């Protein structure tokens, strides 16, 4: 604790957006927690962003609205922001600062932890190698989420990314092992926040969920704190309590825009699209807090959700996120316009760690071969569809026509499911087989012959390879 922790400074030199510049300070360090007292008796809280000689720049978590230079008193704690951690968070709904929003008492814990966190020593990292099953066929079969992975969801405004994120948070499991979800919403409308609470009410009642909701009318600075609170809570639940934890963070574009706004208020030199030059390292400081630690139980898996402005995947936020993370799930406006949910584009989506978490002893022995063959068949189907647009469907060969049939079967029998549809992995893989068997055997060269023999003899498909009703 700083020797000056009980000293109050009244020299508020400037109020600038969400920032207050305090002069005459001594012994204050970067990232230190501050308490701001107003003449009205209200107390706000902040974090030190910058110290220059006797000046300290403090970001006020509740914003500076209603504050005045005179009558504002600031005291510094001498330590970074810390919060209580433990199982007391499970089942609670809080705002983006961690204050209760469910009418309950403040969250208490047996210990506390620094919100800034600490990077995992690479030497102690355990490679991800077990799946997190979501009940969504397109994710479980084609872009399998692996414990300890960071796998973002790329979307566009107007697509049902929030619905998919809530569905995954509500349905995800780890094979019967102790599991929890930490859901961090940033910049949500009140309607979206209500939707999230309703969609995750069952998991919250089971004390398997921590819900942190920052709404669009909350102070923008709070948005920078919300994902760090979520990850701090998740790390304790995972590495101390022994749970496998899925952290869903939406929307990281809203987070990045908040970072840009604070950077502009600080007068920093902008980089690409006016985002600060440290956007990459800031995002990495969040995404890289996931993983597994050798010798400790549990894992932290991160699913960031972000909207691509104007659908531009080269925009700085998705672009930098793609460099840091291990693949992406991409939603398609074309698929959504066709009335299919979830509108996942399988050819643009990828899980780079999928092979570590799929196959015999983890999911099912035929899983990697089926997924690879299905992606290859869909790629050929897309080529055939483009060819049909040029020369017409009657000019296509019988095999090409079967590829067009496969694309339709994929959307109707495999991809499409309801927003509360929770499919087992076996059901999802069986549906993938039904889709593949719309093709002649000669087109399924990536699947071993014994697997083909077994499934072509199954009553779920006739000898011609066409689907039959289950």
* Distance from C-alpha of 443 to C-alpha of 41, rounded to nearest angstrom: 74
What's the pLDDT score for residue 338? 93
Coil/strand/helix, residue 459: coil
Map 248-315 to HEC letters.
EEECHHHHHHHHHHHHHHCCCCECHHHCECCHHHHHHHHHCCCEEECCCCCEEEEEEEEECHHHCCCC
What's the pLDDT score for residue 267? 84
Question: ∠274-50-107 over CA atoms, to 5°?
Answer: 95
The answer to whether the beta carbons of residues 201 and 208 sit under 8 Å apart is no
Joined tokens for residue 151: 């796998």
**What are phi and psi for residue 13, nearest 5 degrees?**
-80, -35
* Distance from C-alpha of 214 to C-alpha of 164, rounded to nearest angstrom: 19
The secondary structure of residue 103, as a DSSP letter, is S
Count Cα neighbours of 102 within 13 Å in the Cβ-side half-sphere: 20
Write out the H or E segment, with its range, that includes residue 292: strand 292-293
The answer to whether the beta carbons of residues 49 and 81 sit under 8 Å apart is no
* Distance from C-alpha of 452 to C-alpha of 470, rounded to nearest angstrom: 18
What average pLDDT does the segment 385-403 reach?
Answer: 92
Write out the H or E segment, with its range, that includes residue 284: helix 279-287
The answer to whether the beta carbons of residues 225 and 61 sit under 8 Å apart is yes
Least confident of 11-20, 103-112, 162-171, 217-226: 11-20
What's the pLDDT score for residue 369? 95
pLDDT tens-digit map of 435-463: 999 999 999 999 999 889 888 766 554 43
Joined tokens for residue 278: 């440290």
The CA distances from residue 13 to 9, 23, 72, 420, in Å, are 11, 6, 10, 53
Average pLDDT, the chain: 91
Q: Is the pLDDT of residue 23 over 50?
A: yes
What's the pLDDT score for residue 221? 83
**Percentage of residues of the chain with pLDDT beyond 90:** 73
Count Cα neighbours of 167 within 13 Å in the Cβ-side half-sphere: 20
Joined tokens for residue 350: 């990828």
Q: Is pLDDT larger for residue 412 or for residue 175? A: 412
Residue identified by tokens 């840091």 is 324
* Distance from C-alpha of 448 to C-alpha of 461, rounded to nearest angstrom: 18
Write out the H or E segment, with its range, that includes residue 78: strand 73-80
Q: Is pLDDT larger for residue 266 or for residue 248? A: 248
- In 71-135, which residue ranges form alpha helices assigned H by DSSP? none
Phi-psi region of 86 (alpha: psi -120 to 50; beta: other; left: phi over 0): left
* Distance from C-alpha of 306 to C-alpha of 164, rounded to nearest angstrom: 12
Coil/strand/helix, residue 146: strand
pLDDT tens-digit map of 62-96: 888 888 888 889 999 888 889 999 999 999 999 99
**Percentage of residues of the chain with pLDDT beyond 70:** 96
What's the pLDDT score for residue 457? 67
Least confident of 100-114, 158-172, 390-404, 445-459: 445-459
**What are phi and psi for residue 283, nearest 5 degrees?**
-60, -40
What's the pLDDT score for residue 470? 34
Q: Is the pLDDT of residue 213 over 60?
A: yes
């Amino acid at each position: 604790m700083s020797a000056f922790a009980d000293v109050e400074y009244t020299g508020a030199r400037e109020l600038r957006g969400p920032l207050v510049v305090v002069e005459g300070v001594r012994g204050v360090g970067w990232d230190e927690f501050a308490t701001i007292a107003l003449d009205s008796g209200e107390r706000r809280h902040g974090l030190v962003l910058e110290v220059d000689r006797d000046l300290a720049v403090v970001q006020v978590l509740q914003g500076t609205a209603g504050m005045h230079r005179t009558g504002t008193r600031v005291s510094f704690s001498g330590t970074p922001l810390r919060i209580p951690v433990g199982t007391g968070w499970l089942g609670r709904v809080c705002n983006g600062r961690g204050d209760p929003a469910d009418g309950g008492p403040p969250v208490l814990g047996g210990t506390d932890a620094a919100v800034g966190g600490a990077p995992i020593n690479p030497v102690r990292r355990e490679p991800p190698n077990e799946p997190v099953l979501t009940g969504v066929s397109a994710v479980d079969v084609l872009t399998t989420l692996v414990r300890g992975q960071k796998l973002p969801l790329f979307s566009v405004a107007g697509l049902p990314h929030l619905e998919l994120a809530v569905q995954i948070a509500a349905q995800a499991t780890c094979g019967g092992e102790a599991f929890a979800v930490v859901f961090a919403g940033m910049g949500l409308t009140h309607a979206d926040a209500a939707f999230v609470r309703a969609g995750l009410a069952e998991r919250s009642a089971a004390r398997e969920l921590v819900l942190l909701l920052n709404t669009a009318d909350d102070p923008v600075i709070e948005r920078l704190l919300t994902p760090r609170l979520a990850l701090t809570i998740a790390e304790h639940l995972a590495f101390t309590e022994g749970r496998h934890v899925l952290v869903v963070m939406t929307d990281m574009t809203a987070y990045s825009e908040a970072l840009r706004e604070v950077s502009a208020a600080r007068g920093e030199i902008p980089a690409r699209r006016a985002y600060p030059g440290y956007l990459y390292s800031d995002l990495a400081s969040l995404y890289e807090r996931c993983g597994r630690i050798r010798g400790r139980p549990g894992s932290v898996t991160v699913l960031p959700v972000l909207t691509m402005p104007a659908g531009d995947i080269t925009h700085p936020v998705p672009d930098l996120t793609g460099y840091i993370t291990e693949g992406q799930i991409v939603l398609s406006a074309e698929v959504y316009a066709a009335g299919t949910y979830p509108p996942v584009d399988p050819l643009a989506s990828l899980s780079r760690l999928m092979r570590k978490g799929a196959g015999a002893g983890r999911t099912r022995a035929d899983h990697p071969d089926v997924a690879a063959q299905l992606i290859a068949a869909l790629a050929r189907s897309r080529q055939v569809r483009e060819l049909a647009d040029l020369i017409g469907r009657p000019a296509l060969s019988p095999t090409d026509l079967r590829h067009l049939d496969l694309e339709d079967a994929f959307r109707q029998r495999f991809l499409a499911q309801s927003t509360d549809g929770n499919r087992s992995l076996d059901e999802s893989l069986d549906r993938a087989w039904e889709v593949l068997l719309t093709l002649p055997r000669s087109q399924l060269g990536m699947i071993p012959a014994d697997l083909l023999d077994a499934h072509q003899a199954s009553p779920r498909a006739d000898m011609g390879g066409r689907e039959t009703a289950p």
